[in-house]
Amino acid sequence: MRLEIRSRDGLARTGALIHDDQVLQSPCAADVQALFPSLSSRFLENVPLSAGESFTDAWLVSGNEPHTVHPASSLEVPRGEALMVANWNSALANPAAYVRYLVALKERLPPDAAWYAPAAAIPSNAALLAWSGFDLFDRTGPDLATAQRRFLLPEGEFKEGAMGCGYCDCPGCAAGDLLNHNRLALDRELALVRWYIRKGRIRDLIDGRCRHDSSSVAIVRLIDQHYQFIEPRTPVTGPIPFRANSSEALSRPEVRRFAERVLSRYRPARTDTVVLLPCSARKPYSVSRSHRLFANAIRGRAHEVIVTSPLGCVPRETELCYPAAHYDVPVTGHWDAEEVAVISEILASYLERHGFRRVIAHLEGGALSVARVAAERAGVSLETTVVGERPTGDGSLAELDTALDGNLHRHEDPLRGLALFQFDRELTSTGLRVRGRYPDIQYLRNRAPLFGIDARLGSLRPSFEGWSLLGDAYRVVIDDFVPQGDILAPGVLEGDPRIRPGDEVFVVGPSACATGRAAMSLDEMLRSRRGVAVRRRKVMKREH
């Protein structure tokens, strides 16, 4: 069996499972016994997941495909063939073990293999299993539930009598056939999962589905805590809008990565005054009515930082970066203790790092509470300019204007902010011609385009000339060939370890160079024998 991956969303992927003359759309449930007849006669593979390395390597036997793998095993398996994790169903009730086993397996074994979880999938956990990176399931779960007279739905498990209550109108329910219903419910859920993965929204589905089971919620939270494991596999751009509808949004890898890059990569232009501003419903912030009013009052006399949940702080120059210009959050006017703690820590780190002489908080409510906690933690005094009314009130705007009397004008530069955030390289638009209307603008030198801003994705798109200004950042080195289409993983020799799925990359080789967007992280490019590594945009042959 081989897996041809068509789309990725973190660990989850969709594609074609090809076995002899059969093609299955994954993730899917199938008659695994028909796919792999040897399963009925195999033995010494049912090693408990909790077994240690010495026991596992001494007793585990894996012959034909699918090759049995174990989180504690050091045994090598053939690359590119189907892998089976025996007893994976037993891990679902132990969230800490589930995540520990998953990390051990995924970091050691080939990323381009098809992953089979036997006897594990039912409609209520199928999305979680697919989000964890499994591609193939059998029908043991629905069949066992049928034998136990249980009626399965994505929302949970019910007594058989629920089948006649109108909750489902599938052919199985219409015929009173519990087995058929349970199997169809799993197939329907997996079809929905495939759609969500293709759209880059599998996390939205997971956040809703996991609420019905405490172990599933714990698994999601624990995977998020393994940031070094999940972040490289998380695309740098994603669904629009980015839905931050639960408390888990504070620890999502996209959110943590944004805060990390703001703190480690971004550096404000020289200034001694920062103004802290509230977020807006419309994004990017600067096109909203409230931020146009703020801009008229500030008039470039201070560095602007937006205080917002779940991202923490958003410097004005980075407001286009994903997901700052793309997130949607429930607005209640209330900030809970966890939000205040997390956001204030990010803001305090930002203030400490850049040593502003003056910190002006043009905020109210929860955002002002965050600023006060952050200022105290950073050891700076906080000036407030909202008195007795909303930040957009005439009196508040006048107070903000007066507070900045005597400050020199400075320039917030989108090119500079995006280049620092995206490539960790400092560029400015000084001397360049700007074409278009913000945020959809292009930077040119004379008539040659250097960079375009893709406002939909929140990223810079460099031309060949633009890449020449970025040094060796985000390069992928390929073998001696001229790409005729997308660049496949076997052709990649090395590259920038910071590359993540969705990153703009510059491809260089002895015979050609190309621009494009990474389809996987560099680590996965180097460990895969098949699959698209870079979706090529333009190619240029080298002169010999």
Query: At 170, which CATH number?
Result: 3.20.20.105
Nearest 5°: the CA angle 360, 361, 367 is: 160
Asked if 181 contacts 170 with a C-beta cutoff of 8 angstroms, the reply is yes
Residues 497, 442 within the same domain: yes
- Distance, CA of 173 to chain centre: 38
Which pLDDT score, from 0 to 100, does residue 409 have?
86
Count the neighbouring beta carbons within 10 Å of the beta carbon of residue 333: 7
Residues 195, 84 within the same domain: yes
pLDDT category of residue 411 using cuts at 50, 70 and 90: confident
Rounded average pLDDT over 45-61 = 88
- Please give the tally of structural domains in the chain: 3
Which pLDDT score, from 0 to 100, does residue 319 have?
97
Spatial separation of the C-alpha atoms in residues 475 and 201, rounded to whole Å: 28
Residues 29, 175 within the same domain: yes
**Is the per-residue pLDDT at 131 higher than 80?**
yes
Asked if 92 contacts 120 with a C-beta cutoff of 8 angstroms, the reply is yes
Question: What is the DSSP code (8-state) at residue 67?
Answer: E
Whether residue 415 lies inside any domain: the answer is no
Residues 165, 308 within the same domain: no
Query: At 485, which CATH number?
Result: 2.30.130.10
Asked if 227 contacts 253 with a C-beta cutoff of 8 angstroms, the reply is yes
Residues 72, 207 within the same domain: yes
Residues 490, 398 within the same domain: no
Whether residue 412 lies inside any domain: the answer is no
pLDDT category of residue 58 using cuts at 50, 70 and 90: confident
Task: Give one DSSP letter per residue of 51-104, joined into a string.
Answer: --HHHHHHH----SSSEEE-TT------TTS-EEETTGGGGTT-HHHHHHHHHH
Whether residue 395 lies inside any domain: the answer is yes
Handedness of CA 231, 525, 103, 144 (dihedral sign): positive
Residue 433: how many CA atoms within 13 Å on its side-chain side?
7
Rounded average pLDDT over 498-512 = 97
Last residue of a domain, one of 162, 192, 225: 225
Whether residue 242 lies inside any domain: the answer is no
455, containing H or E segment: none
**Is the per-residue pLDDT at 519 higher than 80?**
yes
Which pLDDT score, from 0 to 100, does residue 85 have?
95
Whether residue 245 lies inside any domain: the answer is no
Phi, psi of 140 (to 5 degrees): -60, -40
Whether residue 256 lies inside any domain: the answer is yes
pLDDT category of residue 544 using cuts at 50, 70 and 90: low
What torsion, rounded to 10 degrees, do the Cα atoms 429, 441, 501, 448 define? -60
Residues 269, 363 within the same domain: yes
Asked if 241 contacts 283 with a C-beta cutoff of 8 angstroms, the reply is no
Rounded average pLDDT over 477-501 = 96
Q: Is the full-model pTM beyond 0.75? A: yes
**Is the per-residue pLDDT at 230 higher than 70?**
yes
Return the closest-CA partner of residue 369 out of 389, 395, 341.
341
Residues 220, 261 within the same domain: no
Which pLDDT score, from 0 to 100, does residue 46 have?
86
Asked if 273 contacts 538 with a C-beta cutoff of 8 angstroms, the reply is no
Whether residue 501 lies inside any domain: the answer is yes
Residues 84, 197 within the same domain: yes
Query: At 305, which CATH number?
Result: 3.40.50.10630
Rounded average pLDDT over 369-396 = 94
Phi, psi of 7 (to 5 degrees): -150, 150
Q: pLDDT tens across 266-283, in order?
A: 999 888 999 999 999 999
Spatial separation of the C-alpha atoms in residues 226 and 204, rounded to whole Å: 19
Asked if 83 contacts 124 with a C-beta cutoff of 8 angstroms, the reply is no
Residues 156, 268 within the same domain: no
Percent of the chain with pLDDT over 90: 86
Asked if 453 contacts 437 with a C-beta cutoff of 8 angstroms, the reply is no
Phi, psi of 141 (to 5 degrees): -60, -55
Whether residue 340 lies inside any domain: the answer is yes
**Is the per-residue pLDDT at 295 higher than 80?**
yes
Residues 444, 506 within the same domain: yes
Residues 139, 9 within the same domain: yes
Containing structural domain, residue 271: 250-403
